[in-house]
Amino acid sequence: MALTLDLSGRVVLVTGASRGIGKALAEGLAQAGATVAVHYHQNREVAERLAAQLGRDAQAFGADLADVAACQRLFEEVLAVYGRLDVLINNAGVAIGIELQASPEVWLRAWEQTLAVNLRAAALLCHLAIAQFLRQGGGRIINIASRAAFRGDTPEYMAYAASKGGLVALTRSIARSPKLGRAGIRAFVVAPGFTRTDMAQDFIDRYGPAIALGDLALERLTEPQDLVPLVVLLASGMADHATGCTIDVNAGSYVH
C-alpha cells in the first residue's frame, strides 16, 4: 500500500480556520491537495486572504456558530458551492473564563455561549455531515477536542472542559455505530494540550507561563503545525481503522 497522502478532489470544511490551529490545518490540507472551505466568524478579510493563498478553489464562509440557523446556512452554502463534502473538521472553539464568585446570570451566560459554540454547533454540523455522507457513500469527521476533556481544567474553565468532554463522547458515539461505520463514515478526536494560539495566550496571561510549560515532557510548547500531519493522515483515509480513537498532542503533559 502506497503511503502517499493525496487529498486531491476532496472537499474539507474547517471551522475556525482564519487563525491558530484551524489556519494551520487549512494550509496543510491544501498542501496535500484538498479543497478547503475556510470558515470564519468575524475575520472575513483574513479568511478571504487565506482562501486565496490556499488555491484549489478554496473559499471563505462566514458564520456565527453560536447561532443555530447560521450553522445550518454554513453547511448549506458549502454544499451549494462544492456539491459535496468529504471531511468535516470541527475546530472552532471558545474558552470563556468564569470567576467562581460570578453571579448565576453571568455564569449561565458564559456556559451557554461555550456549549453553543464548542458542542452544539459541532454536533449540528456532525448531524448535517452524516446525512450528506450517507447520501454520497461515506466521509470523515475530525473533532478537535482538548486534553481538558480528560484531565479537567481550572475552576474558571469548567465550561470549556465540559464542552470538550461532550465532543469526545459525541465522536465516539458516531464512530462505534455499525450503521454509520459500514456506510463509510469515520470519526476521530485530536486532543491538543496547550498550543501556541491566541486562546492559549489569554490563559497564560491569566495564570502565568508556568501553567503551560511546567508539565511538558518536551522542550517546547506545541505549535499549531504540530497537529497538521496527524489531521492530514486521518483525513486521507489511511487510518480508518482508528475510527473512534483520540490522538493526544500535548507534549507528554497528559497521557490517558
Q: Which residues are catalytic?
A: 160
Instruction: Name the nearest CA neighbour of 87 among 165, 164, 26.
Output: 26
Question: What is the DSSP secondary structure assignment for residue 1, as one 8-state letter?
Answer: -
Q: E-strand spans in the chain?
A: 11-14, 35-40, 59-62, 87-90, 139-144, 185-192, 246-249
Q: Where are the alpha helices (DSSP H) in 83-117?
A: 104-115
Strand partners, 189: 143, 246
Q: Identity (one letter) of the amino acid at 93?
A: G
* CA dihedral over 206, 154, 247, 56, signed as positive or negative: negative
Give the H/E segment covering residue 248. Answer: strand 246-249
Within 10 Å of residue 138's Cβ, how many Cβ atoms?
Answer: 16
Q: Identity (one letter) of the amino acid at 18?
A: S
d(C-alpha 218, C-alpha 220), whole Å: 6
